[in-house]
Structure 1
Amino acid sequence: METKDSKRMNRRAFLKALGDGSARLAGASAIAGTVAALAGCGPKHRESTAAAPGEVPTDKMTYRTNPHTGDRVSLLGYGCMRWPTRPRSDGKGDEVDQETVNELVDYAIGHGVNYFDTSPVYVQGLSERSTGIALSRHPRDKYFLATKLSNFSNYTRENSLAMYRRSLEELQTDYFDYYLLHSVGGGTGIPLVRARYFDNGMMDFLLREREAGRVRNLGWSFHGDVRVFDYMLSLDIPWDFV
């Protein structure tokens, strides 16, 4: 398994490392997202039971333990892209059904889920606030929180910084367990990635945020051109997860 000290990792080596299973993370609404080399966040102290090799228990949650931090992350994560909505009382569009969201989060945590993945653009921009309300009712050390820099339509430095800071406020937290560059690989490929995250200085900012502890793990999600995937892995950046 490559570690955060590795400078380069090609796609073949990366995919082989994923198959080794020594540091995996399940996230988003499907069981997705894999830790390549986690760093930064202290261990969570949730009680869990490990299955024997090859065994998949059906009566308890399965966890993956990050060998670098000791984090025990639930194999099944909760994606917050489809929170239930209902018509507003004033007839002006929809709103999140917060009571139902609270019940869903309580049920998930009660059954061992401890990884929650959201974004500023989910549920027409309402997901982070709703997720923050539901999760803030639980101790902060009982769950891992993931969100993204989803600066698709406006990737100026000013707007990107505002989005980052708004995520902290909406999610009622002072740090992110996992923070992702959202959906690299689409559009014009590498030029778009550079415009969204590098040319505007946001990558330097996020690396400083990781040093300060406000981003515990820094990574990215991928949709699109595999050349962008290879490009991201070729950068001299110690990514924590993908």
Structure 2
Amino acid sequence: MMDKNKINRRGFLRALGVSGAAVALARCGAKSEEKASDAPAGTASPKKASGEMTYRTNSVTGDKVSLLGYGCMRLPTLPESRPDGDNIDQETVNRLVDYAMEHGVNYYDTSPAYCKGFSERAMGVALSRHPRDKYFIATKMSNFSPDTWTRE
């Protein structure tokens, strides 16, 4: 005799799928923090203009961070390297950062391992041309060996 409290694999997956669909449907109707604060309680929030950046508010600091971040793993390069091995096209990086800032991106993600160690420096140059309180930058530790620039 089968216990009513036990569930087989198929039943579990069915329940998981139904609950996942319910959560997805509920999230579709959820408002972002910024949108929810713009509208009075019980009213529909106004739609954002096409192309306008969406921000999330840090509940601890109150900082508004762009939902879209700028990843710095693949920066544009020049065909030839300078004597120090850096071949990042700084002028193009500056223009790309300016464009991102103009369109509301204020979160930048880099690492010492990106672009053979030159990503952080290039982003520092590009971002230093903007007020420091207008952007957030994240960097991380990596497991890349500077000797080989591989993950091995």
Q: Contact 1:77/1:114 (CA < 8 Å) preserved in 2?
A: yes
* Secondary structure of residue in 2 paired with 1:145: strand
Instruction: Select the structure with the greater relative contact order (CA < 8 A; seq sep ≥ 6).
Output: 1
Which structure has the greater CA radius of gyration?
2
1:57 Cα deviation after fit: 4.0
Counterpart in the other structure of 2:18? none
Partners of 1:149 and 1:91 in 2: CA distance:
26
The corresponding residue for 2:114 is 122
1:50 is displaced (CA, Å) by: 4.0
2:105 corresponds, among 98, 101, 113, to 113
**What is the aligned counterpart of 2:134 among 142, 145, 150?**
142
Alpha-carbon distance, 1:94 to partner: 6.0
1:218 corresponds to: none
The answer for unaligned runs of 5 or more in structure 2 is 1-22, 37-43, 147-151
Kept in 1, the 8 Å contact 2:106–2:135? The answer is yes
Q: TM-score by structure 1 length?
A: 0.40
Aligned residues, how many? 115
- What are the Cα deviations for residues 99-151 of structure 1, in whole angstroms up to 9, with x where unaligned? 00000001111111100000000112110000000001111100001000114
Counterpart-to-counterpart distance in 1, 2:134 and 2:53: 14
Are 2:93 and 1:101 aligned? yes
Are 1:80 and 2:72 matched, yes or no?
yes
Structure 1 residue 87, shift from structure 2 partner: 2.0
Task: State, as a whole percentage, how many aligned pairs show the same letter.
Answer: 62
Whether the 8 Å CA contact 2:113–2:144 is kept in 1: the answer is no
Q: Which amino acid aligns with 1:99?
A: E
SS in 2 for 1:96: coil
Is this contact kept in 2: 1:23–1:67, CA < 8 A?
no
Name the CA shift for 1:146/1:136 in 2 (closer, same or farther; >3 Å). Answer: same
One-letter code aligned to 1:66: N
Find the aligned partners of 2:81 and 2:144 in 1 and give their Cα distance: 31
In structure 2, distance between residues paired with 1:112 and 1:134: 16
* 1:18-167 to 2 correspondences below 5 Å: 50=35, 55=47, 57-88=49-80, 95-153=87-145
Q: Is the 8 A contact 1:22 1:66 kept in 2?
A: no
- Partner residue in 2 for 1:199: none
SS of 1:132's partner is: helix
Give structure 1 stretches of 5+ with no counterpart: 1-15, 25-48, 155-186, 188-242
Cα separation, 2, equivalents of 1:89 and 1:153: 20
Indicate how the Cα distance of structure 1 residues 93 and 75 shifts in structure 2: closer, same or farther if over 3 A, else same. Answer: same
**1:129-208 mapped onto 2 (5 Å cutoff):** 129-153=121-145
